[in-house]
């Protein structure tokens, strides 16, 4: 017969704070698990969903009526996959290509294990063996090992497309990015009928589903996931794991919420709303402006002990990349800190001697207040250095952002805006050192009289 766990006397406010910290620590793990279940609840790949160990490829650039993804990328076709490493490693194969692409590999803790791009492999491609925490075998010759601390790895990919006429060529690259279980390595490709969970809430986001979990369901599920994905806890997690033990929370196979100390149960129930508020507030603070009214959005790779930043970043639902791969700046205000509105006219001036320093390319994408692309008569949702932009006599660039047509002389540099509020994202693919060290920043968006 199980007995309730006993702990040393701890003030209730200290117990609740500890429970909040544990909630924040485990939030990304549960969120990624819910996301995986939703993304893999299918028997065949589609543009956004696919069974485990299969890629979901978007085959068309997004438009204003695409509602599945917030702030869709209009420069690239996207690919995603959930890789199951529970039984054996899986080999990720990338072909030889001159085209820009990026594959970011996330653990279930929302940490980036690594990324694959022309920057890392040149144009040669290669084979990478994704290895789970409980496998200790040897990979085939020529397969580079990437170790994951979690049983599942999420791959988020981008494949650059230079206009609608280039889409078919981009498809061929997507089709050559392959996932092969190690037991099938070297054998002819074969497709398996994979089990999936078809009954799933597809109308509610994983974030909304997670917010509805009560303390018992949250901490019970967290216990299960920590058992599967914390076989080798990193040294930076030792303090939070000690905090778990201090309040009597011992994740294990036979974990029972009702056996926790009564005061811990009370604290955990009280901690849910408080922890959620801390995550939301951290998300707002992360949008601090750094220069010229722009905020910077990148992923550090490993968050170390900054669990609150990790939870708030995961909650956004955006697949943020390493800064060295894609650096993203965002703004919703002009140079006077006034909100951007389509009732005004704006311009961005790029100095001819200080063009965005990138090895890849750059673009500016406009989104409405719901973070969707904006419908317009010329079907233009972004502008960048791959477009036929008209330079000024001094070789500078003027990007015109407004709702009304600016006239024939400015049409090629016009980014159409809605009548009401909007925001901009400046994406820099494979940025150079000047961007990474902060010596280059986007110019402010200036209101034109």
Helix H segments across 230-300?
A: 238-246, 262-285
Banded model confidence at residue 390, pLDDT cuts 50, 70, 90: very high
Q: What is the pLDDT of residue 319?
A: 67
User: What span, in angstroms and rounded, lies between the C-alpha atoms of 33 and 23?
Assistant: 15
Q: Which of 335, 348, 352, 343 lies closest to 396 in space, CA to CA? A: 352
Does residue 81 surpass a pLDDT of 80? Answer: yes
Q: Are 86 and 70 in contact (CB under 8 A)?
A: no
Separation of CA 297 from chain center? 10
Q: What is the pLDDT of residue 1?
A: 41
Q: What is the CATH number that goes with domain 323-448?
A: 2.60.120.600
Helix (H, G, I), strand (E, B) or coil at 244: helix
Instruction: Provide the residue ranges of all domains of the chain, joining segments of one domain with +.
Output: 42-184, 323-448
Helix (H, G, I), strand (E, B) or coil at 176: helix
Q: Which of 2, 3, 22, 414 lies closest to 246 in space, CA to CA? A: 22
Q: What is the pLDDT of residue 193?
A: 47
User: What span, in angstroms and rounded, lies between the C-alpha atoms of 244 and 268?
Assistant: 12
Angle between helices 215-229 and 262-285 (to 10 degrees): 80
Q: What is the DSSP letter of 204?
A: S
Average pLDDT over residues 317-327: 87
Helix H segments across 286-329?
A: 307-315
Helix (H, G, I), strand (E, B) or coil at 424: strand
Global pTM reads 0.91
Average pLDDT over residues 362-379: 96
What b-and-e string marks burial along 314-325, b requiring 16 or more CB atoms within 10 Å of the CB? bbeeebbbbbbb
Interacting residues of 166 by C-beta distance below 8 A, sequence separation 6+: none
Separation of CA 74 from chain center? 16
Q: Phi-psi region for residue 71, left (φ > 0), alpha (ψ -120 to 50) or beta?
A: left
Tell me the sheet residues that pair with 83: 153
Interacting residues of 431 by C-beta distance below 8 A, sequence separation 6+: 323, 324, 326, 327, 356, 357, 358, 359, 360
pLDDT tens for each residue of 278-293: 999 988 776 655 656 8
* Cα–Cα separations (whole angstroms), residue 210 to 27, 33, 217, 258: 8, 10, 10, 21
Q: Are 224 and 255 in contact (CB under 8 A)?
A: yes
Q: What is the pLDDT of residue 191?
A: 62
Does residue 106 surpass a pLDDT of 60? Answer: yes
Query: What residue ranges in 40-191 does DSSP mark as E strands?
Result: 56-57, 76-84, 90-94, 101-106, 112-116, 126-131, 143-147, 152-160, 178-181
Average pLDDT over residues 109-115: 94
**For the chain, percent of residues with pLDDT exceeding 70:** 92
Q: What is the pLDDT of residue 303?
A: 92
Does residue 144 surpass a pLDDT of 70? Answer: yes
User: What span, in angstroms and rounded, lies between the C-alpha atoms of 158 and 66?
Assistant: 17
Does residue 351 surpass a pLDDT of 80? Answer: yes
Q: Which of 350, 333, 449 lies closest to 395 in space, CA to CA? A: 350
Q: What is the CATH number that goes with domain 42-184?
A: 2.60.40.1610
Give counts: helices (H), strands (E), the chain: 9, 19
pLDDT tens for each residue of 179-238: 999 999 988 776 654 555 555 566 788 999 999 999 999 999 999 999 888 644 567 898
The sign of the CA dihedral 337, 340, 345, 350 is positive
User: What span, in angstroms and rounded, lies between the C-alpha atoms of 369 and 444?
Assistant: 19
Q: Which of 200, 210, 109 lies closest to 153 in space, CA to CA? A: 109
The sign of the CA dihedral 30, 31, 37, 40 is negative
Helix (H, G, I), strand (E, B) or coil at 440: coil
């Amino acid at each position: 017969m199980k007995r309730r766990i006993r702990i040393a006397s701890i003030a209730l406010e200290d117990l609740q704070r500890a429970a909040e910290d544990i909630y924040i620590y485990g939030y990304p793990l549960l969120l990624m698990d819910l996301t995986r279940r939703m993304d893999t609840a299918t028997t065949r790949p589609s543009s956004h969903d696919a069974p485990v160990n299969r890629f979901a490829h978007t085959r068309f650039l997004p438009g204003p009526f695409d509602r599945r993804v917030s702030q869709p990328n209009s420069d690239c076709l996207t690919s995603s996959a959930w890789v199951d490493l529970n039984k054996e490693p899986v080999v990720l194969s990338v072909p030889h290509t001159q085209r820009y692409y990026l594959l970011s590999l996330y653990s279930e803790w929302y940490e980036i294990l690594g990324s694959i791009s022309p920057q890392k492999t040149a144009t040669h491609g290669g084979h990478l063996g994704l290895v789970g925490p409980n496998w200790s075998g040897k990979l085939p010759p020529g397969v580079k090992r990437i170790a994951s601390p979690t049983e599942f790895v999420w791959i988020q990919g981008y494949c650059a497309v230079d206009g609608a006429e280039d889409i078919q060529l981009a498809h061929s690259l997507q089709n050559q990015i392959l996932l092969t279980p190690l037991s099938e390595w070297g054998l002819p490709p074969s497709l398996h009928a994979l089990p999936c969970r078809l009954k799933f809430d597809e109308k509610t986001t994983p974030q909304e589903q997670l917010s509805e979990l009560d303390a018992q369901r949250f901490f019970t599920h967290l216990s299960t996931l920590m058992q599967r994905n914390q076989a080798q806890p990193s040294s930076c997690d030792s303090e939070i794991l000690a905090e778990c033990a201090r309040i009597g929370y011992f994740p294990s196979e036979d974990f029972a919420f009702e056996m926790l100390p009564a005061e811990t149960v009370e604290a955990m129930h009280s901690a849910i709303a408080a922890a959620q508020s801390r995550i939301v507030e951290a998300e707002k603070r992360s949008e601090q402006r750094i220069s010229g009214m722009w905020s910077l959005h990148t992923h550090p790779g490993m968050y170390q002990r900054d669990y609150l930043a990790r939870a708030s970043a995961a909650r956004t639902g955006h697949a943020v990349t390493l800064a060295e791969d894609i650096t993203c700046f965002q703004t919703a205000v002009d140079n006077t800190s006034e909100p951007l509105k389509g009732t005004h006219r704006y311009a961005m001036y790029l100095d001819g001697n200080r063009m965005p320093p990138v090895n890849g390319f750059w673009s500016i994408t406009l989104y409405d207040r719901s973070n969707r692309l904006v419908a317009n008569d010329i079907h233009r949702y972004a502008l960048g250095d791959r477009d036929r932009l008209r330079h000024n006599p001094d070789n500078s660039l003027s990007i015109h952002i407004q709702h009304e047509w600016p006239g024939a002389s400015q049409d090629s540099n016009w980014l159409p805006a809605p009548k009401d509020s909007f925001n901009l994202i400046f994406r820099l693919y494979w940025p150079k050192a000047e961007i990474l060290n902060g010596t280059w920043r986007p110019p402010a968006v200036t209101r034109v009289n």
